[in-house]
Amino acid sequence: MAPDMGMAGTTVETVRGLVYGPGGKRLDVHRPAGASGATPTVLLWHGIGPDERDVLEPLARATAAHGALVLVPDWRSDAPDGGRSHLLESLAFAREEAGGLGADGESLVLAGWSAGAGAALGVALRPEIADEWRPSAVVGLAGRYDLPARTTGTPPLDDLTAGRDPGVPVHLVHGTRDAVVDARYSRDLTEALRTPGRAVTLQEPETDHAGVIMTAYDPAADRCIPTTGEHAVRAGRMVAGVLATAGA
């Protein structure tokens, strides 16, 4: 367990490497020190890079500093099922175990970055894959929604066109300087969701694909790494606030 002072002035505890399901994959837990009972849960899925839970640690810790328990699992997009079983196993773990880790056991925000964003929205649109369960809210970060979701196999936009409803608030964040996944994909989803009775928000900070999760892409490592770049820190702080309050 690694305690540290979070960005919001709250001491954050991190527990790394908990096995979360039959597949043997691991997740990290980031929570405010002394979390007990009243803490909301955020399950945060990384993007298409296999087993990259560490990439989301800066954002997860910033979110925990706002008072949320954040679970960040590894999953593998190159698995035979595209990562579906890993994602759903991590969801089952969050639903069953968050209470024992210091959360309230009721409020669970499902969030994802890049490929993880569509996977998160897919669960809300097709709750039958989780025994008719829906999260308290969905947060999509720099995602595409016209591609098959890793959880459902169908594009979220197609599900919306077919009349499916997420049934919960959807909060989107997409950097205006994103050269990997253009912000128009989140704008298109926002327009598709904007019907009477639905809650949807879209924020577009001036940052790029990596910056929206408080990181920078390192070509030598071929992965995103923590950064102190002003645009990324500013965007990450905003996203952390969205994640921590989305289920309120």
Tens of pLDDT, residues 132-154: 999 999 999 999 999 999 999 99
Alpha helices in the chain (DSSP H): 57-64, 84-97, 115-125, 156-161, 184-193, 230-245
Instruction: Please tell me the pTM assigned to this model.
Output: 0.95
**What are the tens digits of pLDDT across the range 173-198?**
999 999 999 999 999 999 999 998 89
Max CA pair span of the chain: 47
- Cα gap 117→114, rounded to integer Å: 5
- pLDDT given at position 8: 53
Listed in sequence order, the residues at least 6 apart from 57 whose beta carbon sits closer than 8 Å to its beta carbon are: 14, 28, 30, 72, 226
Whether residue 5 is predicted with pLDDT greater than 60 in this model: the reply is no
* Average confidence (pLDDT) over 76-82: 97
**CA end-to-end span of the chain, whole Å?**
28
**What fold, for 2-245?**
Rossmann fold (3.40.50)
Domain-by-domain residue ranges, the chain?
A: 2-245
Three-state secondary-structure class, residue 39 = strand
